[in-house]
Structure 1
Amino acid sequence: MRALIAFSRFVGNTFALWVLLFAILAFMQPAWFLPLTAWIVPLLGLIMFGMGLTLKAEDFRDVVRRPIAVLIGVLAQFIIMPCAAWLLCQAFSLPPEVAVGVILVGCCPGGTASNVITWFARGDLALSVAITSVTTLLAPLMTPALIWLLASEWLPVSFSAMFISILKMVLLPIVLGLVAQRLLGERVKTAVDVLPLISVVSIVAIVAAVVAASQAKIAESGLLIMAVVVLHNAIGLTLGYLAGRLFGMPLAQRKTLSIEVGMQNSGLGAALASAHFSPLAAVPSALFSVWHNLSGPLLATVYRRMGRDSAKNEA
């Protein structure tokens, strides 16, 4: 069991490498990964079930203890990324399915990987977990509402269908995870120790399935979509940090806001796009998953040094 836990940690620490590797493999050999398209929604449910297993009451204490900081983070998440996505779609005159895909990933809640990146960047980890948890729980209402508001000019959007999908994909698995945690108690600890492995395998499989299903379209317009994804991520990371600065937050919280806003739950974006639109609409989410798992650790390295330099200056 120790070997499995150690391997799970290794895979979790090298997450970006596996996502990139299998995205390339899926592009080169799509036939190998096409059967995984039927598993996108169950795999996302497995990730959310794992989140439910790890959630604790103290994760929400910051909501009560520091409501203003959490509120700023939640508002920044649901304002900056959706608006940035809409502006990029307009600026690049993206085709309808691609535009909806970009807006979709922009309207998703923060990704759980942001908590790990925040810890590495020496940000405010408790605040990061609180913002991720709150935005995830608000996703069944906020995500379909924002997609309907911003993406309806390109393709028809059903708020009710998306609301039900997110309840099934996100809220129900989280609730089941919380129930399992309560019923099994300490026995859940073993499962939690191997969650990094399960999460990485699930996200890698989702990305590979989306890339394989849209290989021809990626070959045709992948560079444009990638450019939009990189810009979208950069805007979120930058404006998240500036929002923290605007409200006078300390450095650790500014780092947290930057990472929370810039890193999305791209697995949810890919699953929603595949279920309600088309494989092409899922491509921005898949590419976002590849990119933000590269940009996040790079930025965290810079942020980590900022904290060290700040401490030296204070000394």
Structure 2
Amino acid sequence: MLGKRVYNGFLVVAGIALAAFLFCYFTGCTAFAGPLQVAAFVGFAIGVRGSERLKGFSYSLMILSAVSISMYYPELFLKAGSFEFKQLIVPLLQLIMFGMGSQMSLNDFAGVIKMPKGVIAGVICQFTIMPVIGISVATFFGFPPEIAAGIVLVGSSPSGMASNVMSFIAKANLALSVTLTAFATLLSPLMTPFLMKIFAGELVEINFWQMMIGIFNMVILPICAGLIFNLFSRGFRLKRTELAQLLLLVAMIFVKSMISFLTSELAVASLAVSFLIDFLIFAVLPVLATVLFNFFAKGDRKLLENLLSFLSMFGIAVIITIITAAGRDSLLDVGLLLIVACFIHNALGYTLGYSVSKLLRMSEQDCRTIALEVGMQNGGLASGLALEMGKVATVGLAPAIFGPLMNITGSSLATWWRDRIPNQLKTTKH
């Protein structure tokens, strides 16, 4: 930890760099604008860590600094030799989803039985409010078809782990938040392609089955791998219920292979090879990983959590940076309007999610949870799907903007709610 004076020093340097950037920008001296803008964001990112209230914005500010670099020097983030960096997006997303799965268990899905009203309301809000707002905002601003499709894609994606963190900070119903994220993610292979077909089918070509398989590859199977890792990390003597869970997770791999077989011209032999490859990657490798984890880390879950958290944050930053570099020209055309559109999309998600929950007479904690689950989307998944569509430089722009933006707004909203303890918790304390 740095001292308070050091953090304040970074804030002062960041303020000077920002002032110098604005001077250069408005006087046309663009040669130094890029480095000054990056220096300002990095300075603020480090400086705010000295404040309990503001340190939650540090990560978003670091992403903004990375985005600034990729806007000024896009060639650095496009390719190295013949290798295109956009090929890293899917593996990084799979790593993030594996980390998500390793922190979960199938008990998270059992919350559907324990909290049916909250889960049903949350899922319906998730897959109706956001896609409808998405197409409405895109139409209102008159974006080009592929940019508009990216906004709809964000709205059609499930929520991500960020909403769970914000729910914890906001003193919301964390159990409901985790269950909603898990259940919405489980439904995403069906709901996301379906919603894209309905709302964005006239904007870009949507291959329903290809998108479904893509979601299985990028989200469902890596999460299954994480769940398998979680099962075996506690030991290799599984109980009957745990064996049943393992068989269910392996069945998900088979389901993906069957969908591929039924929707393509694969031969039976190709189906078998596809299943075997997926089985080795998403079932066998996680088991081997538990052996290494228990041997080298002695089963230290805290160490694992910190490592996966770092890798997830790093992966998201890299994905956003690559997409920004690839779509730089489009961003220069619609950047400011797209930021405004994403902010409206995000803010209306919070507002309508909370309002609908209130109308259903749900508790304050549940209202906060659903608001955050609806407003915060899995931008990483949307970015991966944009890459699968071959349109990461256009369709992928809205997810790249929405991700950092929702972290800033989500942190702000969660911090504001944190100081306003729900009556339900006050009663519990007394």
Same topology, TM > 0.5: yes
| Equivalent position of 1:269 in the other structure | 382
2:21 corresponding residue in structure 1: none
How many angstroms apart in 2 are the aligned matches of 1:311 and 1:120? 14
Q: Could you tell me which residue of structure 2 aligns to residue 23 of structure 1?
A: 67
Tell me, which stretches of 5 or more residues in structure 2 are unaligned?
1-48, 50-54, 80-84, 236-293
Determine the structure 2 residue equivalent to 1:220. 333
Question: Structure 1 residues 258-267 or 305-314, which shifts more?
Answer: 305-314
Tell me the distance in 2 between the aligned counterparts of 1:203 and 1:55: 20
How many residues were matched structurally? 306
Tell me which of 70, 92, 98 is aligned to 1:43: 92
Aligned to 1:129: 178
Residue 20 of structure 2 is matched in structure 1 by none
The equivalent of 2:211 in structure 1 is: 162
Match of residue 7 from structure 1: none
Give the counterpart letter for 2:120 in structure 1. Answer: L
Kindly indicate whether structure 1 or structure 2 has the higher relative contact order, using CA contacts under 8 Å at least 6 residues apart: 1
Letter in 2 for 1:105: V
User: 1:34, CA displacement in angstroms?
Assistant: 1.6
**Partner of 1:99: helix, strand, or coil?**
helix
Q: 2:102 aligns with which of 53, 63, 84?
A: 53
Asked if 1:247 is matched to 2:360, the reply is yes
1:258 aligns with 2:371: yes
Q: Write the deviation string for residues 108-138 of structure 1: whole angstroms up to 9, x where unpaired.
A: 0001101001100111100000000000111
Q: Check if 1:71 corresponds to 2:120.
A: yes
Please state whether the residue corresponding to 2:110 is helix, strand or coil. Answer: helix
Residue type of the alignment partner of 1:111 = G
User: CA offsets per residue over residues 122-157 of structure 1, 9 Å max, x none?
Assistant: 111000000000001111111011001110111111
User: 1:195 offset after TM fit, Å?
Assistant: 1.5
CA shift, 1:310, in A, is 8.7
Give the Cα separation in 1 of the matches to 2:233 and 2:56. Answer: 24
Among candidates 165, 189, 201, match of residue 152 of structure 1: 201
SS of corresponding position for 2:109: helix
Q: Which amino acid aligns with 2:420?
A: M
Cα deviation, residue 284, structure 1: 0.3
Matched, 1:86 2:135: yes
**1:6 counterpart residue number:** none
Distance 2:212 2:168 in 1: 32
Whether the aligned pair in 2 keeps the contact of 1:122 and 1:252 (CA below 8 Å) is yes
1:28 Cα deviation after fit? 1.7
Does the Cα contact within 8 Å between 1:97 and 1:277 map onto a contact in 2?
no
Q: Residue 90 of structure 1: CA displacement? A: 1.7
CA–CA distance in 1 between the matches of 2:94 and 2:425? 42
Contact 2:57 2:408 in 1 (8 A): no
Q: Tell me the equivalent position of 1:280.
A: 394
User: Is the contact made by 2:323 and 2:396 (CA closer than 8 Å) also made in structure 1?
Assistant: yes
CA contact 1:12–1:196 (8 Å) conserved in 2? no
- Identity %, equivalent residues: 37
Aligned-residue offset at 1:40:
0.5
Structure 1 or 2: more helix by fraction = 1
- Relative to structure 1, is the Cα distance of residues 25 and 119 closer, same or farther in structure 2, using a 3 angstrom cutoff? same
Aligned partners of 1:245, 1:284: CA distance in 2, in Å? 29
SS in 2 for 1:307: coil
Shift of 1:313: 11
Q: Secondary structure at the match of 2:233?
A: helix
Partner of 1:205: 318
- Aligned partners of 1:65 and 1:308: how far apart in 2? 21
Report the Cα offset of residue 12 of structure 1. Answer: 8.4
CA root-mean-square deviation: 2.1
Aligned to 2:419: 305
TM-score, with length taken from structure 2? 0.68
Closer/same/farther in 2, CA of residues 304 and 12 from structure 1, 3 Å limit? closer
Q: Secondary structure at the match of 2:234?
A: helix
Name the TM-score, length of structure 1 as normaliser.
Answer: 0.92
1: CA distance, partners of 2:56 / 2:304: 14
